[in-house]
Amino acid sequence: MILAGDVGGTKTLIGLFDPDPADGRPHVVRQHEYATLEFPSFDAIVDAFLTRERARVPAITALCVGVAGPVQGLVARLTNVPWVVDLGRVAPLVGRARLKLLNDLEAMAHAVAYLEADELAVLQEGIAQPRGNGALIAAGTGLGQALLHNVNGRFVPSPSEGGHADFAPRNRLELELAGRFMAEGVRVEVETFLSGPGLVNLYRFTHENERTPDASLHHRLGCTGVPEGTDPDAAPAAITAAAFEGRCDQCVDALDLFVEIYGSEAGNLALRALATAGIYLGGGIAPKILPALEGGRFLDAFRDKPPMSDLLATVPVQVILNDEAALVGAAVHGQSLGRQAHG
């Protein structure tokens, strides 16, 4: 039995999986979702899950966990959560299981080759090169990226912290955007604008009102599209809804800008990875704004990189619709660990 986990800034998924005899996609037996910050540590979540399932859990052969942060061995300090995940502290809970800690995008990347057609939405058909590399980009609580190196016809994921690379403005508007936040002393990285909080930053920019920390989001920004009293954590969804429903022109502008920045950064990643086998959009935001991604702005920005525009027009681009892909990928890698233990 494989125990897999996906630790995010908002939620943590834990699941038990049966290995696939033919080395295909592991089969989920049971899983549960936890609010990450309701627990003091990851081992507390694992303990809660195993206590809940104790009578029904056979021997665990492998524990594989994806976390939102850089990994060093069995330890990771999460980027958007005040935790250190240490699988050494989890080991007593899982007996002699083999342990592996992955960056969350690296975990998601392990799932790519196992996703079904109905778990993907095609933005650009392209012409996939079977021997080419792939890449993954995922905007959510933060911005994650991973490379998919093609080794003998199979993807081998490699982690990245590219979301924290410097933001590269493409035009006068984006120069003004970057300058506005630099003037506040902010280090302007890609994640500053390409994430849930990043969409709120774009919203602030398009509304051009000063922020005051003691006012509600509605009063701070004077927007009729976001209801008064909206919790800041719910603001990205409220902004998106206001944009889709046409209730606020500035919300429309904010979402358009978000989509263009997403397309541009996905194109940057495609060039860095030479991702001729495909670019995949993961994370929680892309499926929720799929109509906006399909509207043309994303692909225009993705391809607008002469002299590489023709190359980028051939790169397949797909959105991952399964919001549990990182958990699936952790289980996939855990399956390989289990086979090594028995090999």
pLDDT digits (tens, 9 = 90+) for 106-151: 999 999 999 999 999 999 999 999 999 999 999 998 899 999 999 9
Q: What is the mean pLDDT of residues 2-12?
A: 90
- Whether the pLDDT of residue 343 is over 50: the answer is no
Residue among 319, 316, 318 at smallest CA distance from 125 = 316
Token digits of residue 221: 């920004």
- CA–CA gap between residue 14 and residue 127 (Å, rounded): 36
What is the model's pTM?
0.89
- Indicate the class that CATH gives domain 116-321: alpha beta
- CA–CA gap between residue 10 and residue 285 (Å, rounded): 13
In the chain, CATH 3.40.367.20 sits at 116-321
- Whether the pLDDT of residue 211 is over 60: the answer is no
The whole-number pLDDT of residue 53 equals 74
- Whether the pLDDT of residue 219 is over 50: the answer is no
Are 83 and 41 within 8 A, CB to CB? yes
pLDDT per position as a tens digit, 286-330: 999 999 999 999 999 999 999 999 999 999 999 999 999 999 999
The whole-number pLDDT of residue 209 equals 52
The whole-number pLDDT of residue 321 equals 97
- CA–CA gap between residue 115 and residue 286 (Å, rounded): 16
In the chain, CATH 3.30.420.40 sits at 2-104+324-342
Is 2-104+324-342 CATH 3.30.43.10? no
Mean pLDDT of the chain: 90
CA dihedral 282, 79, 70, 146 (to 10 degrees): 20
Q: What is the mean pLDDT of residues 226-241?
A: 81
